[in-house]
Amino acid sequence: MHYQAETPEAYIKQVPEERQEALTKLREVIKENLPEGFQEGIQYGMIGYFVPHSLYPDGYHCNPSEPLPFMSFASQKNSVNLYHMGIYAVPEIYNWFVTEYPKYSKRKLDMGKELYAF
């Protein structure tokens, strides 16, 4: 599902009511733990957290006019999806997450392809 929103608050108001509380909580947890200087906004149609050009002037390598994406989440048809680009950057963090995930969810972990090369 794609929502037309210009702010995170507007995005959350558009999702089905039964997901709004979960998205609000997820947003709060991310904001409480976001590295200093990172910003929140709508990026690629999702609530996104990114490194602004003031910290990383080169921007996103695929589109340098965009700030560097770090994390985002979206309400999809059957799930809430979290996209964390940083998790692929450090093998120890990736391995920790893969090991810990089953302790907190009964659902199959679906992370897509690994982006790093060892």
Per-residue model confidence (pLDDT) at position 85: 85
113 band by pLDDT with thresholds 50, 70 and 90? low
pLDDT in tens, 55-109: 999 999 888 999 999 999 999 988 899 998 888 888 898 899 999 999 998 988 8
Given a cut of 70, is residue 114 above it in pLDDT? no
Cα torsion 10, 12, 13, 19 to 10°: value is 170
* 3-state secondary structure labels for all residues of the chain: CCCCCCCHHHHHHHCCHHHHHHHHHHHHHHHHHCCCCCEEEEECCEEEEEECCCCCCCCECCECCCCEEEEEEEECCCCEEEEEHHHHCCHHHHHHHHHHHHHHCCCCCCCCCCCCCC
pLDDT in tens, 24-64: 999 999 999 999 999 999 999 999 999 999 999 999 988 89
Using CA atoms, how far residue 102 sits from 5, 49, 97, in Å, is: 33, 25, 9
Per-residue model confidence (pLDDT) at position 57: 95
- Taking residue 46's Cβ as centre, other Cβ atoms within 10 Å add up to 22
Phi, psi angles (nearest 5°) of residue 82: -110, 130
Task: Give strand pairing partners of 83.
Answer: 72
Given a cut of 50, is residue 118 above it in pLDDT? no
Given a cut of 70, is residue 116 above it in pLDDT? no
